[in-house]
Structure 1
Amino acid sequence: MLVEKNRFPAMSDFSSPSSDVPPALPVPDLGAAMYESSPDCVKLLDKSGRIESMNKNGQCAMEIDDMTPLLGRSWSSLWPPEAVPTVLTALDDARRGGTGRFTAFCPTAKGTPRWWDVIVAPIFGADGKLQRVLAMSRDITGVRQAGQALRHSAERLQLATDAAELGLWTWDPVSDMVTWDNERTYDILGIAHSDPPVNAARFASEFLHPDDIERFTDAVAASVAGNMRFQFQGRVLSQDGAARWVELYGRRHHGEDRPRTQLVGTIADITARKLAEDKLIDADRRKDEFLAMLAHELRNPLAPIGAAAELLKLGKFDEARVRKTSEIISRQVSHMTHLVNDLLDVSRVTGGVVKLETAPLDLRDIVADAVEQSGPLIRGRGHQLAIHLPPYGTTVLGDAKRLVQIVGNLLNNAAKYTPDGGNIDLRIEMDDERVLLSVTDNGVGIEHQLACRVFDLFSQAEHTSDRTAGGLGLGLALVKSLVELHGGKVSCYSAGTGAGSTFSVSLPRLRDGREAVAPARAREAHAGPARALDILVVDDNVDAAAMLAMLLEAAGHRLTVEHSARDALARIDTARFDVCLLDIGLPEMDGNALATRLRSHPGTCNALLVAITGYGQESDRRRSQAAGFDQHMVKPVDTGKLMDVLADVA
């Protein structure tokens, strides 16, 4: 509290007391000892309220060095203006024979702030008439400050418990009674103020989950027996049987106002935290399973590739055996490429870096493309695919490539998890607002507890333990993310193990009159180049460069291979090239910088520049385009696509 100093009149104000002030009356001898020994500030006033005397302790409390100037002055004039009415009221009460009492602020003569608890009482003579007024003021500044500090502390505690949503409780081991000390405790336990109090045993039996009672009892006993803190996590059951996780903290406390030791503490609802912890544990477990699965899936194709390489080193093969070995390597590389692409696709989609190229599309065309892609797997497993499409347009606004990926993943999932010779049903239905596509199979089905997690990353690890389906469990996670990017929803239903599954995709129906655009179809591969091209290959991976050069030479082109940007720049001074195939991750000067140099060189300024790289993120493609590349291909290169690009140049 800010105190306005010098409210107490300056000593100069009292240098000339009025001449009509009667001389100070002597204090009666009978009360002199009590008067002087009182620790309070005791004043004798005349009937009009003027000061006659003040005890020595009072003068010290008021920091008065000389009492003389104050004698005869009105007592009320020594108080701050805002306290004067209260002082006068107390004086009037005393004059009428009563007792006035009040608490007010008044600084000392030297300006020290003080709060006073004041009693004003009458003094009667032998004739029963009022002779004087006694005013006793007790300095309560320290008590008041302590009270304010206590209230401030209580307010801060209340603020902290409210912010942390903590309940407060007290347990008395002697009476064995538990009290709930704030409203939050009642909310957490789901009880009313009118509910009867409980002891520790009843709390355990009536509130706690049976599996947690023993741990609770042990925790309480340990806290009471020793000088240790009480801590417990467990489940409390509501009246409807629902369980909520709570955390209790407590410690032994012996307060001055409590004759015996008690246990005081907090209770917090940690249900959300426990659910989050369980999810983290589950995610960590599924991550470990996924890593083990990834190692398994990568080792599978590496084994035949390694065996084929060793076999080729032996030599002396006829053409048929070489062709068969080449086909095995090609299939396994394709499988590994698919795995890596899935991983990268999940990273891009879940990271929010995928940009949809949307256009009005007829979902029937999307289905046709997806069936064409998934057809080999479906036919290879001997499944019967039934397709039910409406006769009229099912237009949605979407990205053709990604929608085909969604439907294809659902068909592949059905094919993989349906025993050979099964049935797969694909149908499209719609209403005024939505288009619903569903894929139903009569396969292995899904347990109920897995159905809610089947779209999570890596959930394939739980889908089957024998690994007959293969894959990394990324397909359905991609489906969910891509569908949501299109403003749609995806769901799964299965009656249980062995009962098959239905996956449904709901997309907003486009009804603004725009015509659907047919998705672009893959063009037919060129039979061969129209002419031989001069091609420069630059890659610091000697084996990769050599194999790519051998492949292109076999296709009839003329190849030059360099393994550094410096050697490549030296080469273009003496030769001209139609096409330059450049690795991005070159030492000293990367492929992007090299492409910029080639674009400015007369011998290669018009050449086709193709990035052949392991970097396949969208940002990598933007950087290569800015550097001057015409094409960006990710390793391992799709040779069919590369041949098409070269055929365009030839």
Structure 2
Amino acid sequence: MDKQENHAVASADRFRLLVESVQDYAIFMLDPAGIVLSWNAGAARLKGYAADEVIGRHFSIFYPEPAKQKMWPDHELLLAAQNGTYEEEGWRVRKDGNMFWANVVITALRDSDGTLTGFGKVTRDLTERRLQEEALRQSEERFRLLIEGVRDYAIYMLDPLGMIQSWNSGAQLIKGYAASEVMGRHYSMFFRSEDVEAGLPTKELRDALQQGRTEEEGWRVRKDGSTFWANIVMAPIRGADGTHLGFAKVTRDMTERSRLRNLEHSSRQMNEFLAMLAHELRNPLAPIRNAVSILQLEPAPSATVRNSRDMIDRQLSQLTRLVDDLLDAGRMTSGKIRIKPERVSFNQIVARAVEAARPGMDARTHVFKLVVPADDVWVNADEMRLVQVLQNLLSNASKFTPAGGAITLSASVAQGRLHVDVTDNGEGISPASMESIFELFSQGDGLAASRQSGLGIGLSLARSLVEMHGGSIWASSPGAGQGSTFSFELPGAEIQAHRTAGMDSDENRGLTARVLVVDDNRDAADSLAEILRLLGYRVRTAYDGRTALEAALQDKPSAVFLDIGMPEMDGPAVLRALRAQPGGTAIFATAVTGYGAEDERAERPDFSGFDARLLKPVALADLQELLANVRLA
């Protein structure tokens, strides 16, 4: 063997060793029929087969079953033989059955006379790259779908000259154009003509390019020619090499927000005016109130002075309430009202509210009825503000209920929620007014409201306070002239059995006992009944003797509070008749009288048969002391 032949053999050996040692590529030889003739280390690592496991087998073992069924491996060899080389990417199969994404190059091998002697095959694992490309593609697709699905923002792309290149659904919704109507057109079509003449579109592009990002607000034009106030953000888009590719533009319709800003500014000015007005009104009210107090201390004023004094006092109280309403209206609209909820007695809240509203109801001779649970009701609330809610509802009912009408406040607790109704048989609410009855300064129907005093603040304030407690409030009415009901619910309520000092808690002598109050003075009977209800008793009232006897037969009361001086049938006569009824001897009877011990003479009514006696007006402390020492079942 000559020197040239030795050199050729050595070169061939070196090339063989090089190919066999390559780790990142599977390099192997096939005969013309596709039988594996050689196998390098990269092939063993990539495909998982040792050389003795594949040499002599057809290379189709590396293809998925669907590809083999379509005779694709043989088709690849045919293309390589025809064209000299063939390259593709596709799925291949390792020995363990796992798939990988491969780049495949098949080269036809021919001898010196052109006869096909086989094929050289190089395979590279591109699975990682494909996964990255697929992840990128999916990310781009998700981003595209995200942009396309955004409806509150117009998001679109411009080329470097400002021509529209993309258009999302939000852009169509805000500007009114379909994508086909804007693609390829200059974005200046969205500017007002005067802004275009002033060069604003060009300036916007230039500023974004120079500053890297611009944001502004201004008027823009929709397809229908209407204008809207827009917030615009524009940023240039650059390629990896820094080449300017265009602009990204985001537009948001701010018309409603701009309107709200203007309203908020107006609202602040109104609040400042109300606060100033209320402050200025309070200055003259203080000396007027002092003057009334001085007149009230004046001994033995004349009837004329007394009537004038009382009239001033009533009107001053009304004016003070209006000023307080003005202040609360300002605090309410500016969000300055705060509540401090704590566990409070709803019974006490009712008592305070009724006490405040009672003069207005008495002035119009309203019949007031209170229906509350016999046991104590506790609720998580701000006591002062909840009193305000009830007082406003009661005052509203009194205001729109004619003289002699009826007003009822009822309450119940279910599933931890307190439900309260204030019902009247007054002027009612028309369907047209129902929508705005809780709005600030609303006074319902114009004709009815024009006859009443007030600013239309009370109901709006009541709604705000109830909602701040996490509750809800609403109104209902069969219609004008048919009365109305204002209802609200609050969370965090519970009922607890009330027990009075001196009572044996081991014996269920609780305060659910039935009590009968009898007095021909309706206000006196109703007010005493209210107190007893708030103390936890079941109370029924009667305004004459015969009605009292009928009520006693029905309710079988444990106790009776009897007015002494009643027409037709006075207190002692009623008591004798009660004692004669079945079980009447067990009734605890209390005489309620306007005569004190110093006034008693032989000619006064006989108090024999009564178990106790209370002096009008009944003091709460005296009543509680009496009940604390009485066993009522």
Q: TM-score, normalised by structure 1?
A: 0.48
Q: TM-score, normalised by structure 2?
A: 0.49
